[in-house]
């Protein structure tokens, strides 16, 4: 069980949905073979029943191949299997006609008629439904089921059935084929929607990173643009004055040196502001991002007003890295973030489900450079970071920072209420 579990666990959510869709339609072929082929063997006898079993098996095999090729075409991996769809339509028509011929002109007996009628109906119901997988237009997909129903009525009348009996048969084929076609159309729509949502999630993450880079670039441009322009002008003026032997050139270069030092200081302030984050804003931002990604995220507790800026910055980076790991790894459905503040320490824990089996086996020793960087950042303020499995499919990250000189103000008890993104604006 460990092998199949690991194989299934490595798949993304869209891949799991695609695998489930394939197996579901392959199961239709198995059901057809068992319900129409195997059950007709005994009533029709070894010889005729063997031929019928072979025909139904061939039809089920063609359905298997059509399902695989049609779903690959739906995802853009193969061209549309037009030839295979036509083959399935021809095989369906031939087997249904042969089954109707056996019912009308085969051996006498109620069991023979029942078995042949079952083959006739099952083949005509499953065939159009599988063909609908390879048709993009929904009306055309349902039209195929209607066309096979009309053909069933015509063939039944041609083989001597009464118009009323042929009409009842056609209605049964129409209802069954339309239902299978609807299942096929809905399954393809759902599969495409899941893939599109997953692509939108990745695009949203990339856009968030690009937006942050643009913001940082704009800050640097605002800080450095004016200073660099002034430095360039004063440098040119100093060169001209020096060429003329004017002593004012020294004053201009002193001003250039002052502006350069000021620019360095302002760049450090921008970088410091970029790295030092507000813990409350990061908690609200993480909840908003995870909720937007379809993860049930709850935040318990809030940072007190007297929490040092260094502690807030370190814990803010822990929240940001933890939220990023939740989005990138596994297939989580829920995530809980809890902040506990006491007089001696502050503890931040992030717990999520949906951990892949290989991540559980790796434990905390498989941490990447992101967690290693967090440990280094926390170590500078005597903090610790623990990360690893906390149960089956559960991953927990806990950061703990001592507060020896900053007692928690009285009355600031961690809140158990969950704050929405609209309540705390980053």
pLDDT score recorded for residue 347: 93
Structure token pair of residue 262: 């000021």
Mean pLDDT of 177-198: 89
Dihedral in degrees, nearest 10, Cα atoms 102, 108, 109, 115? -10
> Is pLDDT above 50 for 5?
yes
- Tell me which residue of 419, 412, 381 sits closest to 306, measured CA to CA: 412
From CA 352, how far away is CA 358, in angstroms rounded? 16
Segment 192-243, tens digit of pLDDT: 899 988 888 888 878 877 877 777 777 777 667 767 777 887 888 888 888 8
Pick the range with the lowest mean pLDDT from 56-60, 248-252, 356-360: 356-360
d(CA 401, CA 379): 9
CA distance 159 to 69: 35
pLDDT band at 325 (very low <50, low <70, confident <90, very high): confident
- How far apart are the C-alpha atoms of 183 and 168, rounded to whole Å? 23
68: burial class by Cβ within 10 Å (0-12, 13-18, 19+)?
Answer: middle
Residue 146, judged by CB atoms within 10 A of its CB (0-12, 13-18, 19+), counts as: middle
Q: What is the mean pLDDT of the chain?
A: 80
Total residues found in the chain within this entry: 426
Distance CA 295, CA 288 (A): 10
């Amino acid at each position: 069980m460990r092998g199949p579990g690991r194989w299934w666990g490595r798949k993304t959510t869209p891949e799991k949905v695609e695998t489930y869709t394939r197996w579901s339609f392959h199961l239709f072929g198995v059901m057809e073979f068992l319900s129409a082929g195997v059950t007709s063997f005994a009533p029709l006898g070894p010889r005729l029943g063997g031929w019928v079993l072979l025909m139904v098996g061939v039809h089920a095999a063609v359905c298997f191949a059509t399902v695989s090729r049609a779903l690959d075409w739906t995802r853009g991996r193969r061209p549309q299997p037009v030839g295979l769809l036509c083959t399935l339509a021809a095989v369906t028509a031939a087997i249904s006609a042969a089954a109707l011929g056996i019912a009308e002109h085969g051996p006498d007996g109620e069991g023979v008629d029942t078995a042949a009628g079952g083959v006739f109906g099952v083949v005509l119901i499953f065939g159009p439904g599988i063909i609908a997988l390879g048709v993009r237009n929904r009306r055309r997909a349902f039209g195929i089921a209607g066309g096979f129903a009309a053909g069933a009525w015509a063939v039944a009348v041609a083989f001597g059935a009464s118009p009323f009996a042929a009409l009842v048969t056609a209605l049964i084929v129409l209802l069954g084929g339309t239902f299978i076609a609807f299942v096929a159309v809905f399954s393809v729509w759902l599969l495409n929607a899941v893939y599109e949502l997953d692509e939108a999630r990745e695009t949203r993450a990339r856009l968030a990173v690009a937006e942050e880079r643009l913001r940082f670039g704009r800050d640097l441009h605002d800080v450095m643009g004016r200073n660099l322009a002034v430095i360039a002008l004063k440098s040119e003026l100093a060169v001209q004055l020096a060429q003329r032997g004017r002593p004012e050139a020294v004053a201009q270069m002193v001003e250039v040196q002052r502006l350069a030092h000021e620019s360095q200081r302002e760049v450090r302030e921008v970088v410091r502001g970029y790295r030092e984050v507000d813990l409350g804003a990061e908690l609200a931002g993480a909840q908003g991002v995870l909720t937007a990604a379809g993860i049930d995220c709850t935040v318990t507790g809030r940072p007190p007003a007297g929490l040092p800026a260094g502690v807030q910055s370190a814990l803010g980076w822990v929240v940001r890295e933890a939220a990023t790991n939740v989005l990138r790894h596994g297939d989580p459905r829920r995530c809980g973030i809890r902040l506990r503040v006491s007089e001696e320490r502050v503890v931040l824990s992030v717990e999520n489900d949906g951990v892949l089996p290989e991540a559980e086996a790796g434990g905390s020793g498989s941490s990447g450079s992101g967690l290693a960087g967090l440990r280094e950042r926390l170590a500078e303020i005597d903090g610790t970071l623990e990360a690893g499995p906390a149960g089956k499919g559960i991953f927990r990250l806990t950061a703990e920072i001592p507060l020896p000189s900053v007692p928690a103000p009285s009355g600031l008890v961690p809140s158990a209420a969950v704050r929405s993104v609209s309540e705390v604006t980053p």
